[in-house]
Amino acid sequence: MTNLVPITEFDIIYISYDEPNADENFNDLLEKCPWAQRSHGVWGSDAAHKAAAALSETDRFITVDADNIVDEDFFNLELDMDRIGSSDVISWAGRNEINGLVYGNGGIKCWPVHVVNNMRTHEAAPEADKRAQVDFCWNINYVQMNNAYCQVMNNGSPLQAWRAGFREGVKMGLENGDVVNPKQLKNIHKNNYKRMLSWMTVGADADNGIWAVYGARLGCHMTNIERTSWDWKNVRDFDWLTNYFNTEVFPQFESETGTLCPRTGMRWDEEKVKAESVRLGVDLIAELDLEIADFDAQQSKFFKAVYHNPARVAPMAREEEVRNEVGQ
């Protein structure tokens, strides 16, 4: 007999920080899952997950990021816990609103409380542990599920979209959690490499999508071409990213008569953002030989229409099985 446990048996914790769409997304979650709890405003990814674990009264809990809209069908799932190790983190992919990519970024997770309490990642990572500086995935035992049950809406403002792109422009280019020799960038995990290219190309059709494309190119450029101009580990610090955007990025493009963000009231010159994105793209192609392009809205729609997400090897696959399958 299998040990099938309904999703509804686990506490569900919504984690928010400063997302402009956090309140509306939480209200949407409450309509589908009235027992969901919210942890808000905790700085640092490690600390935020520990705060969520502290709210849980079950041995495992499910996290929903604040930029997520969860599909109703998720709450009808059952998990075969006989196939899940006591320290395994269950991961469902998310569908990204900006570029249509479907992978673990922003997806729903099911965490054992003891794993969260014992992990030391991001801001809590020891300096010597390169794998844990900016992500969970290198040190956590993930079990990857094939289905996606949320839409990742990280384009609610120019800052949110830029930050999403910038972070993936940095993180998708890492290997085992660390920067690589730029000449070896094409030799990283092949799926991550393709995702990095997509972030730097697709999104002109989405609200604030050009900010994500520009952000991804800037993150990759600063990490792999400029390199010494900044500490790449700051990509884990949302306060640093917000300050950098407000002081170094947005003032270049601010315009009293430009494109309006209805959530924030910010206005910017969209053509200037596009031009700077193109300039970075020229550099990235010349210096790193990246296969990126300057897609317009129709071309971005085309990509999303034909993009097929590769299956995660099996309905329930461990991270090491996925890496072996793709030849890492």
Task: Measure the CA–CA gap between 70 and 75, rounded to whole angstroms.
Answer: 9
Q: Which pLDDT belongs to residue 325? A: 41
Q: Collapse the DSSP code of 172 into the 3-class scheme (helix H, G, I; strand E, B; otherwise coil) and give the result.
A: coil
With contact defined as beta carbons under 8 Å apart, do 102 and 93 qualify?
yes
pLDDT digits (tens, 9 = 90+) for 23-34: 999 999 999 999
Write down the architecture of domain 4-154+309-322 according to CATH.
Alpha-Beta Complex (3.90)
Helix or strand (DSSP H, E) at 64: strand 60-65
pLDDT digits (tens, 9 = 90+) for 35-69: 999 999 999 999 999 999 999 999 999 999 999 99
Q: What angle do CA 111, 114, 119 make, to 5 degrees?
A: 85
Q: pTM value?
A: 0.93
Which DSSP category does 227 fall into? -
Q: Mean pLDDT over residues 136-144, rounded?
A: 84
Residue type, 319: E
With contact defined as beta carbons under 8 Å apart, do 68 and 150 qualify?
yes
Task: Measure the CA–CA gap between 63 and 308, rounded to whole angstroms.
Answer: 26
Name the band, by pLDDT with cuts 50, 70 and 90, for residue 1. low
Show me where the domains of the chain are located.
4-154+309-322, 158-306
pLDDT digits (tens, 9 = 90+) for 218-252: 999 999 999 888 999 999 999 999 999 999 999 99
Q: Which pLDDT belongs to residue 140? A: 86
Task: Measure the CA–CA gap between 254 and 263, rounded to whole angstroms.
Answer: 16
Residue type, 70: V
pLDDT digits (tens, 9 = 90+) for 166-191: 999 999 999 988 999 999 999 999 99
Task: Measure the CA–CA gap between 157 and 49, rounded to whole angstroms.
Answer: 24
Tokens coding 219: 């993150």
3-state secondary structure 107-138: CCEEEEHHHHHHCCCHHHCCCCCHHHCCCCCC
